[in-house]
Structure 1
């Protein structure tokens, strides 16, 4: 199968006095850099960091493992930019955010700038995903899983490649899901169900009486569809508009021997018809994603949340329930007040029958060094049981 990739773009540079070019690949949608130069093991980290900050892309031509070390050195410089140096003392003190909302936006801005800088270190690839560098790993399987069959030589950031390799390991090893007493294997570009508390909520909430059919809106890895079928739902119709997610869910359901109970449909939000149970775990934070994987976390203008609420009543059978799984992190960040959520629920002709809450257990909730620690520490994830008003 040929990979579905954005419109072909190229980068250009000079090598040994000759003009060269290669296809540009960026999963985050980063435009091809206009300035490109070659570097190798003789290039020091300070020089590379200066060039990257100036927007010059650096195609690595040395030892692959040294490229990884250089990326780590660039990351250290990005993380400690302006600290502990004479130059730093002359600089103005960093801006102290007035509100947690401002802190969130400053954090996202800093992370975006850091990501752009680190993405300037590029690795060349041959058409079959071979990396023509000394001590380069064999990444053919990982790249085929992420992008499909290769067709032409290209270049992409080393940072993105490491993400592809990491996703391959997640896919191979899987994530333990206690509710299933089994593992879910996420694919590249599909959000991993590492936040187990939301899965536990779906596993423990009381099912509507005589519910034999359920809709799973935004199936992702298929984890919630699997939990519902294991709980006795005879048939689940699961939707997603991302082909990677549908392929991932299909593979997981086959592995769990549940594929005959779950119908996968490519759709934006709802399938046709009505069900006594409709489940949705939309992205929790109303902000703009900067890469495809972030679409599972960031929902610009709460579009998916509002779409789910607005269409839910028309897809419930009489007496049916809609389960909305949602963190209140956006409330603690000042991005979406609770009053706004309640207004959307009421405007959709719905009311809250019950709510089940759980505190997060992930490491970041207890990390006092996180700039958003106060919001994360206060976070509660809820399963809202919604019914027609």
Structure 2
């Protein structure tokens, strides 16, 4: 890994090569080395780095990682992957030792997030070197150029990243290639890296089965707020809505939605636009599936799951009345998981609806069928087992 041109620590200007990224420093063969640091989660480069190879045992690697020392892997790639798995087993064994039972749902949730963050931080200490063009200079290293380009963009200089993050990039790339089968579309949706994948199909089924507002028969227009992969916009178009305007403010989501809409042959019906919530104008139907849990994301990748102070939920409800045609409906698709975690009450949700000048016209419920809802070993099992996902049909008061 030639780092001669990076050792000065000059940051350079932002660009596709990641030249706006911080530097990571280490000593190797008695020489000071440096390279760009990349982290999709926004993690700062570790302060202590030592070179590691096959002579390092899993116990020592785990101890060093827990102490905050990062390990720059210099041996066989697959052996590094096995070391990461061994470190994960050690963390999980420690996690499952008897400990004080947390009773309150919100305490269980906060404890779970704290443990997950600690796990990510510890396992993120095993690092992989990259050459330019996302090439890994290790034996038996896979070809990760496509996966890394999708997440990081082009790379014209060496860099270092977490092996754990790299494996996540590879997994996301495979999901993007394979796609997620959507029965309502009889087709697949292909999620991009960093865009929430519609693997929980119950919310898609709600939008596919709920009765469409009668007003659509005379004015066939719908808005899909926070479209993500574009799956709900595609479902509405396939249901016969002549024109759907799908919005998002995330660049990756916009690219992903446009690609999926084009692949499905729906570009003539669905327009994907950049907007913070609503596009201009009014529609007979406005649909939104906001993040379900009112908590602060710990990384950009969690923005589709956690919604700080219910910002998107509040924004959708507050602006819905002025974007609905008279007699139109707003569909709020929302899980009640936050209620079972004591993070938001049903009365608080209904108060937001009332304050926005809206009324509940009806509600359709479905119970999730994802594996965690039936796994008693999951730390949040009690909440997940009770969870219900609902499509709230909302109209303007009066």
Instruction: Extract structure 1 runs of 4+ deviating beyond 2 A.
Output: 2-7
> Is 1:163 paired with 2:168?
yes
5 Å-filtered alignment, 1:356-367, equals: 356-367=364-375
In the TM superposition, what whole-angstrom CA distance separates every residue of 1:244-275 from its partner, at most 9, and x where no partner exists?
Answer: 00101111111100012111111111111111
Q: Is 2:123–2:164's contact at 8 Å kept on the other side of the alignment?
A: yes
The aligned residue for residue 67 of structure 2 is 54
TM-score by length of 1: 0.96
TM-score by length of 2: 0.93
Q: 2:355 aligns with which of 308, 323, 347?
A: 347
Q: Is 2:224–2:246's contact at 8 Å kept on the other side of the alignment?
A: yes
Distance 2:55 2:39 in 1: 27
> Is 1:128 paired with 2:136?
no
> Is 1:113 paired with 2:118?
yes
In the TM superposition, what whole-angstrom CA distance separates every residue of 1:81-116 from its partner, at most 9, and x where no partner exists?
Answer: 2767xxxxxxxx622213111011101100100100
Listed as ranges, the gaps of 5+ residues in structure 1 are 85-92
Listed as ranges, the gaps of 5+ residues in structure 2 are 1-14
The aligned residue for residue 89 of structure 1 is none
In the TM superposition, what whole-angstrom CA distance separates every residue of 1:105-150 from its partner, at most 9, and x where no partner exists?
Answer: 1011001001000000000011100000011001011111222221
The aligned residue for residue 257 of structure 1 is 265
Distance 2:172 2:62 in 1: 27
Distance 1:104 1:321 in 2: 34
5 Å-filtered alignment, 1:3-22, equals: 3=16, 7-22=20-35
Distance 1:109 1:289 in 2: 12
Distance 2:138 2:355 in 1: 59
Q: 2:232 aligns with which of 224, 231, 256?
A: 224
Distance 1:31 1:136 in 2: 25
Q: Is 2:17–2:157's contact at 8 Å kept on the other side of the alignment?
A: no
Q: 2:211 aligns with which of 180, 184, 206?
A: 206
Q: 1:368 aligns with which of 376, 380, 384?
A: 376
The aligned residue for residue 200 of structure 2 is 195
5 Å-filtered alignment, 1:23-102, equals: 23-81=36-94, 94-102=99-107
Q: Is 2:17–2:156's contact at 8 Å kept on the other side of the alignment?
A: no
Q: 2:327 aligns with which of 312, 315, 319?
A: 319
In the TM superposition, what whole-angstrom CA distance separates every residue of 1:15-45 from its partner, at most 9, and x where no partner exists?
Answer: 1111100111111111111111100111001
After TM superposition, give the deviation of residue 3 of structure 1 in Å.
4.4
Q: CA RMSD in A?
A: 1.3
Mean CA deviation greater in 378-387 or 265-274:
265-274
After TM superposition, give the deviation of residue 292 of structure 1 in Å.
2.1
Distance 1:298 1:213 in 2: 29
